Amino acid sequence: MEDMRYLTFALGKGRLADKTLKLFEKIGITCEEMKDKDTRKLIFVNEDLKLRFFLAKGPDVPTYVEYGAADIGIVGKDTILEEGRNIYEVLDLGFGKCRMCICGPKEAGELLRHHELIRVATKYPRIATDYFYNKKYQTVEIIKLNGSIELAPIVGLSEVICDIVETGSTLRENGLVVLEEVCPLSARMVVNQVSMKMENERITKLISDLKTVINEN
């Protein structure tokens, strides 16, 4: 234990982090300091287990993991696909389930069917580009937005959007529908490629412990 180095976890801020901590508790990994909602601290330590945790913006998690500033990251599959970093994706955590979809007003279905040159608004230009160009062989204009993507077809910025659908209520309340499904999404565990070799035993044990509790659910 003495010469063990810290394993560092980068957690995507928000709902994912809360669920991750609950899951980790089930395998005996706790981090009491992190539960304090009012803290401005950025890094939390479990001295006994030689673990460190920090919270980061979702899209930054794969960056920390690729460079080895974090050994392990917990982040949505959407972010993994969009960031395209050199990291290992090792486990589906089974929560944060949702879908990446092409959505718009019902009428926009015709434009998709006829491969029209349409505008696609999205927070995920890489995923949208890959879907339209490499899977559908359809030329489109991708417009990058940073949030409230559903606004775009309503105010006439784009014909469709490429966005996350969870319950579907944002779409419903704005008169939009799912036109095509791009891929299913959920929270994933990612690992730095060097850490996977250097800390193989600890990381493999962590993965197998997590698998056991995930399968119990």
Among 163, 176, 182, 210, binds ligand PRP (CB under 6 A): 163
Amino acid at 165: V
Among 166, 181, 200, 205, binds ligand PRP (CB under 6 A): 166
If the CB atoms of residues 23 and 165 are measured against ligand PRP, the closer one turns out to be 165
If the CB atoms of residues 33 and 166 are measured against ligand PRP, the closer one turns out to be 166
Residue 206: closest CA among 109, 72, 84, 115? 72
DSSP-assigned beta bridge partners for residue 55: 11
The DSSP-derived string for 63-126 is: HHHHTTSSSEEEEEHHHHHHH--S-EEEEE-S-S-EEEEEEE-TTHHHHHHTT---EEEES-HH
Kindly identify the residues of this chain, within the stretch 92-151, that bind ligand PRP according to CB under 6 A. Answer: 123, 147-150
Q: Give the whole-angstrom CA distance, residue 175 versus residue 191.
A: 40
155 is an interface residue for ligand PRP by CB under 6 A? no
170 is an interface residue for ligand PRP by CB under 6 A? yes
Exposure of 145 in the CB half-sphere (CA atoms within 13 A): 18
Kindly identify the residues of this chain, within the stretch 29-58, that bind ligand PRP according to CB under 6 A. Answer: none
160 is an interface residue for ligand PRP by CB under 6 A? no
If the CB atoms of residues 81 and 164 are measured against ligand PRP, the closer one turns out to be 164
Among 7, 75, 120, 165, binds ligand PRP (CB under 6 A): 165
**51 CB contacts (<8 Å, ≥6 apart)?**
6, 7, 8, 9, 29, 31, 45
CA angle 86, 87, 88 (to 5 degrees): 135
- Tell me, by CB under 6 A, how many residues bind ligand PRP: 13
If the CB atoms of residues 122 and 192 are measured against ligand PRP, the closer one turns out to be 122
Among 28, 155, 156, 167, binds ligand PRP (CB under 6 A): 167
Q: How far is the CB of 166 from ligand PRP (least distance, A)?
A: 3
Q: Give the whole-angstrom CA distance, residue 34 versus residue 25.
A: 12
Q: How far is the CB of 98 from ligand PRP (least distance, A)?
A: 7
Q: Give the whole-angstrom CA distance, residue 161 versus residue 142.
A: 9
**Which residues of this protein are in contact with ligand PRP, per CB under 6 A?**
123, 147-150, 163-170
